[in-house]
Amino acid sequence: MENLRQSIMESVINQFNQKGMKFTMDDISKELHISKKTIYKEFDDKDELFFATVDYGFTAIKQKEAEVLKDDSLDIVEKLTRLIVCLPDNYRNIDFRMAYQLKDKYPLVYSKLASRIESDWEETEKLLKQAMDEGKLKKMPIPVVKLTIEGAIEKFLGSEELSKTNVSYEEALNGMIDIIINGLRV
Amino acid sequence: MENLRQSIMESVINQFNQKGMKFTMDDISKELHISKKTIYKEFDDKDELFFATVDYGFTAIKQKEAEVLKDDSLDIVEKLTRLIVCLPDNYRNIDFRMAYQLKDKYPLVYSKLASRIESDWEETEKLLKQAMDEGKLKKMPIPVVKLTIEGAIEKFLGSEELSKTNVSYEEALNGMIDIIINGLRV
DNA sequence: TGGAAACTATAGTTGTAAAAATAGTTTTTT
DNA sequence: AAAAAACTATTTTTACAACTATAGTTTCCA
């Protein structure tokens, strides 16, 4: 079976989002109705499993990103808008308020996670800079834009204010991106 | 001496921002070179001291806010911009990443702090709604604007990204407010 | 072959008793 | 009169042992 690895990693993501780091190899084997032995045939140890899972979790996002980038029917500002919409997928698939738990026990996995998210910003940053240089967007230090977007996403995910006021996450996200892209228009 | 209370409360704010909640009554007396007895003559106990300090910490901000509000030479959107610039003062004077420590031991103080910050948003929200109703700004759910601003401020204060890229806090703050106000313009 | 369960060494948790720190008071000193 | 220091009752940390949970392995069975 070739997608055995894959379903194990799916289970890891699932368990992680349910219980944070407090899930066991037994939890995974139970969820998948497979034996631990089978897991250990695919992955040397928990470390390798986590490491592989981080990579796996980003493949879909990277792909979506690549599609946007190569679609030449899109204006640079439109590309940017779509790219920014992609970014929060990271924060949704991997609940970041739980990821800090990795820092202590799996520092390598954590830094891989952090650097992949960072690298997801790279294309966006490049495009932002380009749009500013071309005069399509107002000049503004990139970190200001980046931190504003990141901060908003984390607030949208973490605060109860949205659900209390019946504003959906999607609505908030699109609103925020709309404000920022418009705010940067010359 | 009339500003004895005041200097004690200043010391509390100072100690808090240095050490979080891990400062003692002795620390305060040492910093001010006064005896503990003198502190306890002004304040019944640590609770009352903290409670009073929260109120004290907000007076300057509230005053600045009131001045902006009553200045009729300002356009509503200008008022809003200045009001939003005021808001972060809360987050700077009282480091919010440390305030959560109050929750357990001084729940009353914490809720006072939270509600005062919340009430600081009230005027801003009122003005935002008004500007949207008057067609001066694009309609947008208020929580989206609020969370975006709050999220950005917290990121600006907490992340090392600004200092690493030589962007000052003020620059970032003004940039962010500029983006958002412009992004909301019709 | 692979699932289920038993097994072991280790890592993590919990309870607790001793030690240290601290809020608030009292005494002494300046 | 107020600072400094000493004091006490309470709270907070610390240290450590007993207990529990878990990663990874091995055995057994369908």
| Contact list, A181 vs chain B (CB under 8 Å) | 183
Q: Do the domain assignments include residue A43? A: no
E runs forming strands in A2-111? none
Q: Do the domain assignments include residue B126? A: yes
| Contact list, B143 vs chain A (CB under 8 Å) | 161-162, 165, 167, 172
| Contact list, A140 vs chain B (CB under 8 Å) | 175, 178-179
A90-94, B42-46, B126-130: range with lowest mean pLDDT: A90-94
CA A28 to C1' D15 (Å) is 36
Quickly tell me which residue has 């980038």 as its tokens: A69
Integer CA distances (angstroms), A2 to A43, A60, A63, A70, B21, in order? 14, 18, 21, 30, 54
Q: Do the domain assignments include residue B147? A: yes
Q: What are the pLDDT digits (tens) for B79-109?
A: 999 999 888 777 777 777 677 788 888 989 9
A73-82, B69-78, B80-89: range with lowest mean pLDDT: B80-89
Q: Do the domain assignments include residue A150? A: yes
Nearest neighbour of B148 by CB, restricted to A143, A146, A148: A148
Question: Which residue is closest to B183 within chain A, CA to CA?
Answer: A183
Q: Do the domain assignments include residue A140? A: yes
Question: Which residue is closest to B162 within chain A, CA to CA?
Answer: A143
pLDDT grade, residue A164 (50/70/90)? very high
DSSP run (H or E) holding A42: helix A36-42
User: Are the beta carbons of B179 and A180 separated by less than 8 Å?
Assistant: yes
Segments forming the whole domain that contains residue B128? 73-184
Q: Is residue A1 over pLDDT 60?
A: no
Q: Which residue has the closest alpha carbon to D25 C1'?
A: A37
- Calculate the average pLDDT of chain A: 91
Q: Is residue A167 over pLDDT 90?
A: yes
Q: Do the domain assignments include residue B152? A: yes
Into how many domains does chain A fold?
1
Nearest chain A CA: its distance from B42 CA (Å): 38
Q: Do the domain assignments include residue B66? A: no
Q: How far is C-alpha A169 from the geometric centre of its chain's CA atoms?
A: 15
The whole-number average pLDDT for the span B118-124 is 90
Whether B94 and B20 have beta carbons less than 8 Å apart is answered as no
Q: Is residue A138 over pLDDT 70?
A: yes
User: Which 8-state DSSP code applies to residue B10?
Assistant: H
Q: Do the domain assignments include residue B155? A: yes
Q: How far is C-alpha B56 from the geometric centre of its chain's CA atoms?
A: 12
pTM above 0.85, yes or no: yes
